[in-house]
Amino acid sequence: MISSNLKKILIIGIAIIGFYSIILSFSDLNLVFDQLINFKIEYLPIILSLVTLGWFILFARWQILLRNSNITIPPKSSFGIYISGFSLTFIPGEVGEFLKSQLLKNRFNIPRSKTSPIVITELFYNALGLVVLSVTSIWFFEFTVYIFIIFSIVLLLVFYLINNKKYFLKTINKFSKIRFLKKYTESMSESIELIQSLTRGRVLFYSVILSIFFWFVECIAIHLLLLSFGIDSIELLTLVSMYTASIILGVITFLPLGIGVFEGSLAGFLSLRGIDITVSLTVVILARIITRWYSIFVGLAVLKITGGLSLPSGEKSID
């Protein structure tokens, strides 16, 4: 039932807030407050504008994937569904991303077997964009080269699976044992051709470009956040290496938002460049709030306003 799921979401949210509180409790609170007081507020509108721009970049990619899947819905509705999809991105293992499939099913009766492959393809492009962007800057922060190599190998294996139906279906059958994912993967055998078509030719080219652009815009936003705290000793491309490596480390843990791993990694990288660890943690937590929790709260608001989880009569709720 939806009410049951909302309770689970609330518990996860409280746990994450508790995690951030514990991190700050081990910090020098006086130094944290000093940093917050000295925060240059004039940077905030620019930072939020860049983060919001990132949503439109991802939405453009979403539209390309929909169009190439022969799915046509009004742009306004499509945008509302896409933004609503941010609301559950803190669910472990990226499974919250599949909310978009449920919303398309609820509002336009589009089968999940036709839209779940699009969500999977989006996740693939998010990862591919990270790798391509990180390779342009790894020489600015040498340690991240090892993370880049490992994650690139994993992506190559994923790409191989996508283009090898036999092994792809074996992998999907394993994921189908997860209760939440079962309804999204049960018809995936019929959708392998769609995934393959969405990772080739022009679709591949434009989707990768948009993915790289999204991550780069987000890196610029984080760089401005550092400048707003008076931290100007880290160049943009160095930050790109640090940020993408931290995101990758968080992704491979399958934790919600890579929580703990992302924050610890980026704070550690910043401290290696001479930034006090308390200051680093403060900046990293704010970066997380601005880049992820901002979108989650907006997604929840849009989901509520549009009545995205209202089900047609006879339709079962999300498990």
pLDDT on residue 304: 84
Write out pLDDT tens, residues 123-132. Answer: 889 988 988 8
Which pair of tokens denotes residue 166?
Answer: 């036999």
The overall pTM is greater than 0.75: yes
Q: What are phi and psi of 191, to 5 degrees?
A: -110, 0
Which segments in the chain show pLDDT lower than 70?
1-36, 92-96, 137-144, 165, 167, 169, 171-190, 254, 256-257, 308-319
The amino acid at residue 283 is V
pLDDT on residue 305: 85
pLDDT on residue 113: 81
Write out pLDDT tens, residues 53-99. Answer: 999 999 999 999 999 999 999 999 999 999 998 888 777 655 667 88
pLDDT on residue 18: 58
Distance CA 118, CA 78 (A): 13
The amino acid at residue 200 is R
Distance CA 12, CA 48 (A): 25
Judged on CB neighbours under 10 Å (0-12, 13-18, 19+), 239 is buried
51 neighbors 294 (Cβ within 8 angstroms): yes
Residue in 257, 318, 305, 288 with CA at minimum distance from that of residue 89: 257
Distance CA 179, CA 194 (A): 24
Which pair of tokens denotes residue 189?
Answer: 């055998």
pLDDT on residue 29: 55
pLDDT on residue 281: 82
pLDDT on residue 58: 96
Residue in 213, 45, 196, 50 with CA at minimum distance from that of residue 132: 213
